[in-house]
Structure formats: C-alpha cells, structure tokens
C-alpha cells in the first residue's frame, strides 16, 4: 500500500492550491469547461458539430438550445460544443434535444458524448510486480544489448527486431510520441529521462482540466505502462527497455476507472497535433464511429501526426474505433510465439500486428509489471514509428505509414489478423524508404524443386515427470543436402504430457527467451517448418512444460 503522505499523491493538491498557471499554453481553440463539469465519462452530454464558417460555436448554437440545455465546453478548432441536457421535469429529453439540434441550419452533426475505455484485457493486479532479477538470458549476444536489468525478462523488443534498429538509433529526443491515455507517472525512474520538459509537467490533464497529467491513484497504471512500452528509458541501466528513447508527451483523458469522454479524447488528439507530436498513441476504444472522433483524427493526420491505435480486445470482434478509421494505423496483438492473441480483434482495417500478450513495462509507483491487451501492442508500433522517424526524419505521416507496412514481416496469419504483418523495427530503420524491390527479378534459370533431395534424422529422449524431472534437452543439427531449401522439425510425445519446441537457425542454443521459431501447444506434439538458404545450423530445445515420458524428435530436410 502506498503511503497516503507520499508526494505522488500530494502533487495534485499542491497544483490545485496554487492554480494551473500557464496550463493552457499552446492549447489553441479550446474553451475551458464550466465549473462543476464531471471528469471522465459524460453520459448526460451531447456533442454538436457546428459550421466552422459561422460566427463561432457558441454564438451559432446558443439560440437553438432549450432551457434545460447548457453549453459546457467548446472547441473552435474542431468546431463543436459539448451540451449538457437535464432530463428533469417536463423538459425535452436528451434525444429530443439532439433531434431538434440536428435540424438547425448551422449544425453539421449531433451525437452522444460517448465513453471510450482503455483496451486492456483485465484490470492489473496492483500487487503483481516483476522480480528485480533479470531473466535467464542467453550466452549469445544480440546485435545491440541494452544494459537495462530487466531486459532479459522481456520479449517484445526482441520480437520486433529492435536490436537491429538500435545499432543505428535508440530514438531521437526530437521525435515526440503523445500518449493519449491515463496519466503517466512522469517521474518514474525509467521515464523521467524521456518525458517532455518542453511542456509543463510533460503534458495536459483533460480529465480534471489542469496542467498536471499525473496518475491520481494506484489503479491508474495504464498510461504509465503504455508510455513505458513506447519510450521507456532504453540502455539507461534502469528497469526495462522501451522500444525507443523518443520524447513522451502525456495527455490524460481516461480517469482512474479507465473511462473517458469523446470530447476529452478529441481535444487531446487535436492538442497533441498542435504540440507537434510526430506520433499519437491511442490505446483506447469504443464500439461505434463518431463524427467528432473521425474529424479529430483526420485533423491530426493532416497536420503531421501519425495516429496508432489498439484494435480492441473482444476476442475476434470487429476493430474498435478510433483504430478502424482510415486515418489511423490499427494494431492487432500477437503473443510470444507470434500467434494472434486470443483476445485480439480482427478485420480488414488491421494494418499491423505487434506483441501485446504479457508485455513488461513501467507502472506506478516506480514499479514494473506485465499487462496484456491490444493496448500494449499499439505503443510497440508507436515506438517503432518513433525509431523510424529518428532514422528517416523527412518522412510524412503518410510516407511513414507506408514504410512501416512495407517493411513488416509476414508471420503466417491472415490479412484480417496481421494486416501487412508484424511490425519490424530493424527493417524499418535500416531500409531506405526511397528504395523499392525489383518488381521483376531475374529468375533462377533452373532452381529445381524443393524436395528433390530429402534427408531424415531422428533422436529419442525421455523426460521424467514431477518437480525434479529434467526440464529440457538440446540438440544441434548440421544441414546435409547439397542445396537446402526447407526443414520440418517435429516433436512427438505422450498424450498426457505438455512439451514445447524451440528452434534457432544459427546453431546457438535456444532458450525460452531467445529463439528464432517456437511451437507451443497444450500437448506434447509440436512442429516447426522453416525455409532454408543453406547457411543455417539448427539449434533445437525440447522443453518439458508438464508431465513426462518418452519422445521422438524428427527432422526432415529438403533440398533441390
């Protein structure tokens, strides 16, 4: 339990006592909310879009309102008003007011002030903290090994090939990623070096309408976790490694309960773009499209920001909004084996896939934990976008989006599950955006058929069951065919057991954290097919997860 006298809880009361001086610097076109407007979801309000060519939002709308309707917030840049409607007595209902306003000459649209929520699979366990010690790791050094002590417990940066990208850049602080979410603990030991110092307190609080986007309770951890994924301090000797060391901007739009209003989120998207955010991450969503959210996203995209959003966690449901808008990069979630996370939404709107199951990052207060959700996959893509802009700063949002999709890796899922593929930081950073593959490469005059030459090898082993049984066996296989093109590694074990299979292609000994391919299922029969070029040496790990018994490891190698 956090001490109630801790400065992290006192920070906001101090701010309120002295006033939020300068809090609206750079926050153009938005009028502060009237006193008493409730934070978080605003279900009693309507959103009314007004003709931008008129004499102002309030002036155009005021004469059309009944006595029980009050303008409580306006945004001249996006040209809308939030209208609070009281349903007491014989006054018109909110729906009646909405229908009447919709017919007004200067009104473009009317809609409810919808509630959006953080797209995390389950509420975090506030008592669950990743141990201080790093993972077991591996003897083989990757291209770039950050010195963050928890890096060995991570898999997301490795899965998206950050180690290759980090050889060129860890992320330029001049590239800004805005996290539109719950508040970020901006003095977290692993975030204080990446949170913007160009804006008061690193951002703005749209929930409480002040200049301090700091978490208000122990349960408000989503924004800190998302921010740490995208831009946690990498190679700083502290905590975990974020995808990038780009600069974080915090826009607090979700309350401690995880809900936030359409109007607050739209304002935050516009504000982020006006602050010059290169990338805007939206790990939140709702079920239906709205005019205001579509206009806010298009405004940011047209004004230089790439928007990245979580696809949603409805276990195969349709893609949530705002991810489903054309102006937004929609991200689905993968697990550690690069399979689609069972909770991830899917659909033709999916642009990219990224790791989102049990992703390690920062949480309040000064801690670390692993969360799951498309909320976690989205900032992985946002962080890769930041790395890419660090390497190729002249890319427009449209060019950056095309480059990320062109350099993505096909992990064998359908288009509606992975879009263009799993985002790849190494490919995006090291591939010149101006280059293009040869559309008609010269074919091999006589490539032969894969399978003209076949070599088989087998090995038998056995795991004893129980807690003291041997946990794994390792093997190395040298290719035998003259022109190798494909191998299929198969593991067959007893029905009562659960075995896993891991594979490397350079002969290094695989671990559960370091491997090139993996097959994991809830039984003892696994199979990994891989394409070969002839330069590979297969390293194989057979792991006992549960149970024991005899097994047979088979390798079918095919050549031309």
Contact at 8 Å (CB) between 395 and 429? no
Give the pLDDT confidence score for residue 556 in this predicted structure.
94
Give the pLDDT confidence score for residue 22 in this predicted structure.
28
Exposure b/e, 411-440, CB count within 10 A at least 16 = b: bebeebbbbbbbbbbbbbbebebeeeeeee
| C-alpha distances out from residue 406 to 280, 419, 436, 437, Å | 20, 11, 9, 10
Q: What is the pLDDT of residues 449-462, one digit of tens each?
A: 888 899 999 999 99
Tell me the backbone φ, ψ of residue 443, rounded to 5 degrees: -75, 155
- Which CATH class name applies to 153-427? alpha beta
Helix 374-391 to helix 397-406 angle (10° resolution) is 110
Instruction: Tell me 20's DSSP state.
Output: -
Mean pLDDT of the chain: 86
| C-alpha distances out from residue 58 to 94, 98, 488, Å | 19, 16, 68
Given the DSSP bridges, would you call strands 45-50 and 80-85 parallel, antiparallel or unpaired?
antiparallel
What whole-number percentage of the chain has pLDDT above 70? 86
**Where are the chain's structural domains?**
30-113, 153-427, 453-559
User: Which architecture, in CATH terms, is 30-113?
Assistant: 2-Layer Sandwich (3.30)
> Among all chains, which residue has been given the structure tokens 């949603």?
312
- Give me Rg for the CA atoms of the chain: 26
Q: What is the pLDDT of residues 72-104, one digit of tens each?
A: 999 999 999 999 998 777 788 888 999 889 888
At 30, is the pLDDT very low, low, confident or very high (cuts 50, 70, 90)?
A: low
* CA pair distance 19, 55, nearest whole angstrom: 31
Q: What is the pLDDT of residues 267-310, one digit of tens each?
A: 999 999 999 999 999 999 987 899 999 999 999 999 999 999 99
Please list the residues that pair with 285 across neighbouring strands: 117
* CA pair distance 455, 452, nearest whole angstrom: 10
The yes-or-no verdict on residue 133 having pLDDT over 60 is no
pLDDT greater at residue 191 or residue 522 = 191
Residue 553, C-beta contacts closer than 8 angstroms, at least 6 positions apart: 458, 459, 460, 461, 475, 489, 490, 491, 540, 542
Tell me the backbone φ, ψ of residue 485, rounded to 5 degrees: -135, -20
* CA pair distance 85, 77, nearest whole angstrom: 23
CATH 2.60.120.380 fits 453-559, yes or no: yes
Give the pLDDT confidence score for residue 438 in this predicted structure.
42
Please list the residues that pair with 499 across neighbouring strands: 544
Give the pLDDT confidence score for residue 105 in this predicted structure.
86
The yes-or-no verdict on residue 166 having pLDDT over 50 is yes
Output the CA torsion sign for 229, 231, 236, 238.
Answer: negative
Q: What is the pLDDT of residues 403-431, one digit of tens each?
A: 999 999 999 999 999 999 999 999 999 99
Q: What is the pLDDT of residues 188-215, one digit of tens each?
A: 999 999 999 878 889 999 999 999 999 9
Which residues are part of the catalytic machinery?
Answer: 181, 222, 375
Q: Name the E strands within 106-210.
A: 107-112, 115-118, 176-181, 203-205
Token pair of 41, please? 């979801």
The yes-or-no verdict on residue 132 having pLDDT over 80 is no
């Amino acid at each position: 339990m956090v001490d109630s006298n801790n400065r992290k809880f006192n920070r906001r009361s101090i701010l309120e006592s002295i006033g939020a001086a300068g809090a609206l610097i750079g926050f153009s076109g938005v009028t502060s909310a009237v006193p008493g407007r409730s934070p978080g979801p605003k279900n009693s309000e309507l959103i009314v879009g007004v003709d931008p060519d008129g004499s102002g939002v309030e002036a155009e709308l005021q004469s059309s309102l009944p006595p029980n309707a009050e303008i409580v917030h306006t945004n001249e840049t996006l040209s809308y008003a939030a209208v609070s409607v009281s349903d007491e007595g014989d006054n018109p209902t909110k729906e009646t007011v909405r229908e009447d306003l919709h017919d007004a000459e200067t009104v473009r649209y009317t809609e409810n002030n919808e509630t959006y929520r953080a797209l995390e699979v389950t509420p975090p366990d506030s008592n669950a903290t990743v141990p201080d010690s790093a993972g077991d790791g591996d003897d083989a050094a990757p291209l770039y090994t950050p010195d963050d002590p928890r890096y060995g417990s991570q898999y997301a940066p490795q899965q998206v090939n950050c180690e290759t990208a980090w050889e060129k850049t860890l992320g330029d602080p001049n590239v800004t990623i805005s996290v539109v979410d719950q508040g970020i603990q901006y003095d977290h030991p692993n975030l204080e070096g990446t949170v913007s110092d160009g804006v008061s307190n690193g951002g703005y609080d749209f929930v409480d309408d002040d200049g301090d986007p700091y978490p208000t309770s122990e349960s408000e951890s989503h924004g800190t976790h998302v921010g740490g994924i995208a831009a946690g301090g990498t190679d700083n000797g502290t905590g975990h490694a974020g995808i990038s060391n780009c600069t974080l901007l915090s826009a607090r739009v979700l309350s401690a309960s995880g809900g936030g209003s359409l109007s607050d989120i739209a304002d935050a998207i516009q504000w982020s773009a006006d602050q010059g955010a290169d990338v805007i991450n939206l790990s939140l969503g709702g079920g239906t499209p709205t005019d205001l959210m579509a206009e806010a996203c298009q405004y940011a995209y047209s004004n230089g920001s790439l928007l990245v959003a979580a696809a949603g966690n409805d276990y195969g449901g349709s893609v949530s909004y705002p991810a489903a808008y054309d102006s937004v990069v929609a991200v689905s979630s993968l697990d550690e084996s690069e399979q689609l996370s069972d909770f991830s939404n899917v659909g033709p709107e999916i642009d990219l896939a990224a790791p989102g199951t049990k992703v390690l990052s920062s949480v309040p207060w000064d801690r670390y934990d692993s969360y799951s959700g498309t909320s976690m996959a989205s900032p992985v893509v946002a962080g890769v976008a930041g790395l890419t802009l660090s390497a190729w700063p002249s890319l427009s949002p449209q060019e950056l989006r095309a480059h990320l999709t062109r350099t993505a890796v096909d992990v064998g899922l359908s288009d509606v599950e992975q879009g263009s593929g799993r985002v790849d930081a190494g490919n995006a950073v090291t591939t010149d955006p101006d280059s293009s593959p040869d559309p008609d490469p010269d074919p091999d005059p006589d490539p032969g058929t894969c399978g003209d030459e076949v070599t088989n090898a087998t090995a038998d082993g056995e795991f004893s069951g129980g807690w003291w049984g041997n946990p794994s066996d390792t093997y190395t296989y040298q290719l035998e065919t003259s022109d190798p093109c494909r191998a299929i590694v198969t593991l067959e074990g007893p029905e009562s057991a659960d075995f896993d299979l891991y594979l490397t292609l350079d002969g290094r000994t695989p671990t559960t954290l370091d491997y090139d391919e993996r097959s994991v299922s809830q039984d003892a029969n696994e199979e990994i097919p891989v394409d070969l070029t002839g330069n590979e040496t297969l390293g194989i790990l057979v792991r006992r997860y549960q149970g024991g018994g005899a097994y047979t490891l088979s390798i079918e190698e095919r050549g031309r």
